[in-house]
Amino acid sequence: MIKVGIIDINQQSRGMMSMLLNHQNQYNFKVTVEVASMGECKKIQPNEEPNVTLLDIEQNGVEAIGAIYRKFPNTNVVVYSDIHDQNSVLECVKAGAMGYLTKDTCVNEIISTIVTTYKGGSVFSPSISRNVIMQVQQTVDYQSALSFRERQVVEGLKNGLSYKLIGYKYGISLDTVRQYIKRTYKKLNINSKGELLAQFR
């Protein structure tokens, strides 16, 4: 038996999903968690811990992934959402999501995703997979345009270090750090730290 959790603020959506999963005949599924948010999981017993949890992040947010793993350490989270943007997908993956499906995914694909994830695999909707690949390739392209020292400075900025601390860490002067950052902006055709960090998420 594969135990499934559904966390979705939309009652109609999660009710429909629960009914479809419980009444399909291909696999032995049992929906043991069907709630709007993690706040409703306090009374869930350990024996009801889902093997796979479908999560809609639209209202619950990406941080719900960590909360799910704290409550259900043995589950596998699959995001199931209408949010398609690259940054949200990557944030979910970083937070521990084992898959990402869009809500227009057909029932058979959802069923096969649950089974695949339960067996240790990962599934992403085709459009999501393409976006993630493009984001990774784009980041690699950005990095290849920079020198070793410029990449170090970018890494310092990503880690929240000030220019002064970056200089101290890598043994270079404050003016040199500024020069590296100016050159990095020029190479990447950007004008701010925010743009820089967005490209290296």
DSSP at 84: -
* Cα dihedral across residues 13, 17, 18, 20: positive or negative: positive
Q: In what order do the strands lie in the sheet with 99-102?
A: 29-35, 2-7, 52-55, 76-81, 99-102, 123-124
DSSP one-letter string for 91-114: HHHHHT-SEEEETT--HHHHHHHH
pLDDT bucket at 19, cuts 50 / 70 / 90: very high
Question: What average pLDDT does the segment 39-47 reach?
Answer: 87
Mean pLDDT of the chain: 88
Top pLDDT among 141 and 105 is at 105
pLDDT bucket at 118, cuts 50 / 70 / 90: very high
Radius of gyration of the chain measured on its C-alpha atoms:
21
- Fold match, 2-128 / 146-199: no
Report whether pLDDT(10) > 70.
yes
The domain 146-199 having CATH identifier 2.30.30.100: the answer here is: no
Q: Which of 59, 73, 47, 53 is nearest to 9 (CA)?
A: 59
Report whether pLDDT(171) > 80.
yes
Question: What average pLDDT does the segment 78-106 reach?
Answer: 88
pLDDT at position 111:
95
Q: So where are the chain's domains? A: 2-128, 146-199
What percent of the chain is modeled with pLDDT above 90? 48
Choose the CATH number for 2-128 among 3.40.50.300, 3.40.1190.20, 3.40.50.2300, 3.90.1150.10.
3.40.50.2300
